Amino acid sequence: MRRVYFDHSSTTPLDPAAAGEMAPYFTEFFGNPSSFHYFGRGVRKAVEEAREKVAGAIGADPREIVFTSGGTESVNMAIEGIAQANQKKGNHIITCAVEHHCSLNTCKSLAKKGFEVTFLPVDSYGMVSVDDIAAAITDRTVLINIMHANNEVGTIQPVAEIGRLARERGVYFHSDACTSFGRVPVNVDDLGVNLLSLSAHKIYGPKGAGALYLRKGTRWQPLFHGGAQERMRRSGTENVPAIIGFGKTAELAAAGLEHEITYLTGLRDKIIREVIGRFDNIRLTGHPEKRTPNLASFCFEFIEGESMLLHLDMQGVAASSGSACTSGSLEPSHVLTSMGIPPEVAHGSLLLTLGKNNTEEDVDYFLAVLPPIIERLRDMSPLCHYDHCEVEEDCITCTARK
């Protein structure tokens, strides 16, 4: 059976070139980079080269890169580290409703500890308003935490504007760039961030590696207590093979970015055009233009996401959804509901995230297998059938949205 992987927002396949560079660091070059001797020195050199590559990919100084275990750790370190280190100035954090759980839950945890957190709303595209952020800043605000691109709907936030605002108002700014890195240009000076979180496995790197960009001069404190690794900013022996792989894929991502944007935008737009043109009672989620080039996301009314995913999987297509059943909770995705999408519609979410190995044939295959699945599930649905919506005036589900 043909297998089509359209779930690159979950994870990406490891680039073979990165796997090749990583391999000897599992066995031959096993030394601890903190060791003074021959075995350690060689590995230290390789880790520092990887750091230069990651720094180069985002326009940073290598000394500003802290290797971590991944995006979640980076985000925790950024938010918690700023909050704890700046308590003399204040205890207020500004973030928004569509952040990844690693941001939201870190902020909620701080709120329980007595910090004040403002969770700003977003518009129907999932975009936060810079004016709202400006209005929320007080003399107690220590951090603005707004993601670069959203992982479920692809919406790209006005990060550069937020960066300018943060600088003017003397507030630190952290952006989670796990979804945007390798998909759109990410340059720490252009974005005006003080801190930035990156993940390796979203850019064809290995799982278990990420980085926190920490601008020189930022008042911040580490989360882990231990040895002097990563210039005292992240204790614990480095995950060397993963760091080597991350360095390689960061380099490849930066070099291939322009091509990838053009290529994936073409595939993505074909999916959006065809799917929207093919079905009624469907909506594109996220911003129509300001979105990551590899992400197509929809809500199909009257049907539920997990059912779609199961059928697609049986046809060989791997995709994702923000429905309750797939999110692992009883609520549909907080991203979709924050955008004002009613819960019953959010349950019909379908998320397709493309990657560099996808082809036009993959897209055509998906477009061929999708319609019978949607029709079958809608035929089975007791909710108002889309063909009858306009005639059945008593159908609350449909008329409420007309």
Partner 1 sequence: MYSEKVMDHFSNPRNVGEIPDADGIGEVGNPTCGDIMKIFIKVKDGVIDDIKFKTFGCGAAIATSSMVTELVKGKTIDEALKISNKTVAEALDGLPSKKMHCSNLAADALHKAIEDYRNRSKK
269 binds partner 1 (CB under 8 A): no
Q: Residue 176 forms beta bridges with which residues?
A: 197
Contact criterion met (CB below 8 Å) for 218 and 264: no
3 state DSSP class of 267: helix
Neighbours of 46 (CB within 10 A): 21
With CB under 8 A as the contact rule, which of the stretches 101-109, 164-172, 208-216, 321-329 interacts with partner 1? 321-329
Q: By C-beta, is 217 or 328 nearer to partner 1?
A: 328
Q: Which of 170, 343, 371, 372 binds partner 1 (CB under 8 A)?
A: 343
User: Could you tell me the two tokens for 171?
Assistant: 């507030």
Q: Which of 23, 97, 325, 395 binds partner 1 (CB under 8 A)?
A: 325
Q: By C-beta, is 241 or 305 nearer to partner 1?
A: 305
Q: By C-beta, is 153 or 324 nearer to partner 1?
A: 324
392 binds partner 1 (CB under 8 A): no
Q: What is the DSSP string of 222-237?
A: -S--SS-HHHHTS-S-
How do 317-318 and 4-5 pair as beta strands?
parallel
CA-based end-to-end distance of the chain: 41
299 binds partner 1 (CB under 8 A): no
CA 278 to CA 196: how far, in whole Å?
Answer: 39
13 binds partner 1 (CB under 8 A): no
Longest dimension (CA), the chain: 80
Active site residue 384: no
Binding-residue total with partner 1 (CB under 8 A): 24
Tell me which residue of 81, 119, 82, 79 sits closest to 103, measured CA to CA.
Answer: 79
283 binds partner 1 (CB under 8 A): no
Contact criterion met (CB below 8 Å) for 67 and 210: yes
3 state DSSP class of 176: strand
306 binds partner 1 (CB under 8 A): yes
Q: By C-beta, is 19 or 369 nearer to partner 1?
A: 369
304 binds partner 1 (CB under 8 A): yes
Q: Which of 179, 307, 338, 353 binds partner 1 (CB under 8 A)?
A: 307
116 binds partner 1 (CB under 8 A): no
Q: Using CA atoms in the order 398, 6, 104, 210, what is the torsion angle rounded to 10 degrees? A: -170
379 binds partner 1 (CB under 8 A): yes
With CB under 8 A as the contact rule, which of the stretches 15-23, 70-78, 272-280, 310-318 interacts with partner 1? 310-318
Q: What are phi and psi of 312, to 5 degrees?
A: -60, -40
332 binds partner 1 (CB under 8 A): yes
Q: By C-beta, is 135 or 310 nearer to partner 1?
A: 310
Eight-state DSSP code of residue 140: T
Would you tell me which residues interact with partner 1 (CB under 8 A)?
302-307, 310-311, 314, 323-325, 328, 330, 332, 343-344, 347, 379-383, 397
